[in-house]
A and B are shown apart, each in its own frame.
Chain A
Amino acid sequence: MRWSMILIFVAIVIGGLTFMAFSVDEVVSDITLGLDLQGGFEILYRVIPIDEDQEITQDLLNDTYTALYRRVDAMGVSEPDLRVEGEDRIRVRLAGVHDPEEARRFLSTEARLSFRNTDDERLFGGEHLKEGSARAVFDEFNQPVVTVEFKDPELIGQVSAEYLGDIIVIWLDFDEKTDSFAEESLKEDPKYLSAPVVRQPFSTGASITGMPSYEAAQELASLLNAGALPVQLEELTARSVSPTLGERAMDLTVRAGMIGGALIALYMLLYYRLPGLVAALALFFYVYLVLVIFNWMDAVLTLPGIAALVLGIGMAVDANIITNERIKEEIRSGKTIMSSFRAGSKRSLRTIMDANITTIIAAGVLFYFGDFAIQGFALMLIVSIVLSLVTAVLGSRLLLGLLVASRAFDKQPRWFGVKESEISEL
């Protein structure tokens, strides 16, 4: 019996498990969780033209993207995820946003500011605003107002001088077809922002009064600074997960995964004995490696990602089972443990490769042709399969090889789940 092999085996296992135990917290806490697991808000917009003349081009899409990005930035969301999909779609994912309704309103308003007379004729608009000049302040009556400055004060002064003593209505997102001052002014809560009487021509800037709260004033100021959207946005899908529910889903899923994993490990240990122990250890390594690689790839772990992980566990266990069954067959045919291990490993490798390559091909095709949601799943699946191959083929083989090479288990077929009575005489 060669104790050195057993020692190497024990050293690898204890070293590996210790390393994993100490670093797993860090690895896990670094992983970006998807909305379904940490809460947040996801919305898929279709970009539609503001009027008939507008065509949705790549440039326009990019402008919209930039405008949305500035808005998300103004909301102070960390690590927002925005992407253009297809020809006319933009997906926005905001993790950890607690008030989805507010975020939605903030994102999708076009923020087209316009100054109009009481007959709804447009005098001038947001294009004349000095960039980044909108501010939320309190006026002399301690009321929240938004102040804006104009790029060309002279022009604005001239136009507004015509309306001295009259009203200039300030609108946000005026709809030519449906909105009118005459109608809205009768309402208790009119749609326009404010309708101040012009006491003196607007020279450098204007104040928008009538803000219901300082927060509302701040929101409008950020919107104006972020700029108007060049298009209209139509919501195609929206999903919001409350952080509490997301966290709950995460906790439950992790606990379920651990119990499932423990059951698998126990079953493998009871059924396959020594190779089962190795398989269980390989399984730990596999899950750890997947998390490290997901982390390294900056992948976002979502429920479908967990699906890919589960399938990967299945594949890793399957590879171990295929090998162990082969080894058992060889032992039963009367070979020594050493040559059974060698033959079993060799003959099972081709099977495992064929099965896994077939699945990788399927996943690769899905990745190539699928949209981003399917792509994410396919990519994780490929990573899972490759890692399951690494741990189940290389890892298990190394560990089991050490145990077999120690010769401690020669003539001990029971350790491999084979009864002496099953072994046929050569």
Chain B
Amino acid sequence: MNFNFDPESNRYQFVKHRYKYFLLSGLLIGLGLLIIAIMGINLGVDFESGSTLEIMIQDQAFTSEEVEAVLADLGLEPGSIRLIGNNNEIAEVRFIGTLDQEQITQVRQAFAEHFGQVDINESTVSPMVARELARQAVYGILLASVAVIIYVAIRFEYRFGVAAIIALFHDALFIVALFALLRLEVDLTFIAAVLTIVGYSINDTIVIFDRLRENMKFAKLKTVEDLEQLVNRSIVENLPRTLNTSITVVFAALALYLLGGEGIRNFSLALLVGLLAGTYSSIFIAAQLWFEWKKRELKKKLFHPQNA
């Protein structure tokens, strides 16, 4: 396998079909927002205070009924039970409303009576803290975006910065929508995944813009077609790098997802989706956004050559 693409070839028209990509992304983003809006109301467990218990027994498998029966004896009704682990040896039980210390002790004892040795992980998140953490991350990302735009504006041109940030939000939104859809808990892992994708997405886009800027030095931009060709060429020249970087990072994320254990599964899933979205957006969206914007400037110049 070898990714060799001839930049001179007209086979790769990444700019020409840009409206299709915009439409696709627009639809997906709309769908994502819709999911967030609808599922967000149903999220419940995530944003009301709740407790999650992860119960593991030695070399044995659970069934949901068994877990439910043990909890019912204690008068506890779980919000959800999920069996995880390679052989269903871990039960993840979520409660709406927090369990107090006594109740957790009772749960531990009850499971120990039924199944012998048990290990229990417990996490309780109050709604205030979950929201605060999410808000902090959002503020952080917004501020970081502004800083990135300023840096890119100094080093390149502000349009590059803005386009890179739009691509970044595009990628981050997919993770948020995914978490809303799969009803995964918004916790530190989630925040870490989003921040990781923020880093990756910026990096991935800036490299293409760097090539674009370099090619611009030698290009004589007289027509919109020139600009289109320039963007196409820059994307094509960067394709081997974009694809190879994505493939290698996906290797790492996939290995973590498949083999990394339950604690890291949400994280690696978010990472995988974010990486794919990031790769897609850096090939099909980011430079095309810049093109759309730059085109306007070019047209102005073309119609008013005396101002150029």
Question: Which residues of A are in contact with B by a Cβ distance under 8 Å?
Answer: 36, 44, 100-101, 104-105, 235-245, 248-249, 251-253, 255-257, 259-261, 263-264, 267-268, 271, 303-304, 306-308, 310-311, 313-315, 317-318, 321-322, 325, 328-329, 347, 350-351, 354-359, 361-366, 369-371, 373-374, 377-378, 381, 417, 422
**Contacting residues, chain B, for A104 (C-beta < 8 A):** 101
**Contacting residues, chain A, for B254 (C-beta < 8 A):** 260
Whether A314 pairs with B252 at a CB distance below 8 angstroms is yes
Contacts A257-B260, A381-B196 aside, 18 further interface pairs with beta carbons under 8 A come to A36-B263, A101-B105, A255-B259, A259-B255, A260-B251, A260-B252, A260-B256, A271-B1, A271-B2, A303-B189, A304-B189, A308-B192, A310-B256, A311-B196, A355-B203, A366-B144, A370-B137, A371-B132
Min CB gap A108→B, angstroms: 9
**Contacting residues, chain B, for A356 (C-beta < 8 A):** 203
Other-chain residue from B98, B155, B241 in contact with A321 (beta carbon distance below 8 A): B241
Q: How far does the alpha carbon of A390 sit from the alpha carbon of B246 in the complex, in Å? A: 21
Does B76 sit within 8 A of A, measured CB to CB? no
Whether B210 pairs with A240 at a CB distance below 8 angstroms is no
Whether A253 pairs with B261 at a CB distance below 8 angstroms is yes
Whether B248 pairs with A365 at a CB distance below 8 angstroms is no
Whether B140 pairs with A236 at a CB distance below 8 angstroms is no
B109-141 vs A, Cβ < 8 Å mask (1 yes, 0 no): 000000000011111111011001100110111
Highest count of chain B CB atoms <10 Å: which of A240, A307, A311, A356: A307
Chain B residue with Cβ nearest A351 = B210
B221-240 vs A, Cβ < 8 Å mask (1 yes, 0 no): 00000000000000001001
Please count the residue pairs between chain A and chain B whose beta carbons lie under 8 angstroms apart in the complex.
229
Other-chain residue from A237, A355, A363, A369 in contact with B210 (beta carbon distance below 8 A): A355
Q: How far does the alpha carbon of A363 sit from the alpha carbon of B144 in the complex, in Å? A: 7
**Contacting residues, chain A, for B147 (C-beta < 8 A):** 361-362, 364-365
**Contacting residues, chain A, for B123 (C-beta < 8 A):** 237-240
Chain B residue with Cβ nearest A362 = B144
Other-chain residue from A245, A263, A321, A422 in contact with B245 (beta carbon distance below 8 A): A321
Does B247 sit within 8 A of A, measured CB to CB? yes
Complex A-B: 19 CB contacts under 8 Å: A44-B129, A100-B122, A240-B121, A240-B122, A245-B54, A245-B121, A248-B261, A257-B260, A260-B252, A260-B253, A308-B192, A311-B196, A318-B207, A318-B249, A358-B151, A358-B164, A358-B202, A362-B199, A371-B136
A264-B252, A307-B192 given; A361·B151 CB < 8 A: yes
A304-B189, A358-B151, A362-B199 given; A369·B143 CB < 8 A: yes
Whether B124 pairs with A244 at a CB distance below 8 angstroms is no
Min CB gap B246→A, angstroms: 9
Whether B152 pairs with A358 at a CB distance below 8 angstroms is yes
Q: Is the interface of A mostly helix, strand, loop or mixed?
A: helix
Question: Which residues of B are in contact with A by a Cβ distance under 8 Å?
Answer: 1-2, 4, 54, 56, 98, 101, 104-105, 108, 119-126, 128-129, 132-133, 136-137, 139-141, 143-145, 147-148, 151-152, 155, 164, 188-189, 191-193, 195-196, 198-200, 202-203, 206-207, 210-211, 214, 237, 240-241, 244-245, 247-249, 251-256, 258-264, 267, 271
Whether B104 pairs with A361 at a CB distance below 8 angstroms is no
Min CB gap B235→A, angstroms: 14
**Contacting residues, chain A, for B263 (C-beta < 8 A):** 36, 245, 249, 253, 303
Whether B192 pairs with A256 at a CB distance below 8 angstroms is no
Whether A314 pairs with B200 at a CB distance below 8 angstroms is yes
Q: How far does the alpha carbon of A255 sit from the alpha carbon of B108 in the complex, in Å? A: 30
Whether A307 pairs with B101 at a CB distance below 8 angstroms is no
Chain B residue with Cβ nearest A350 = B210
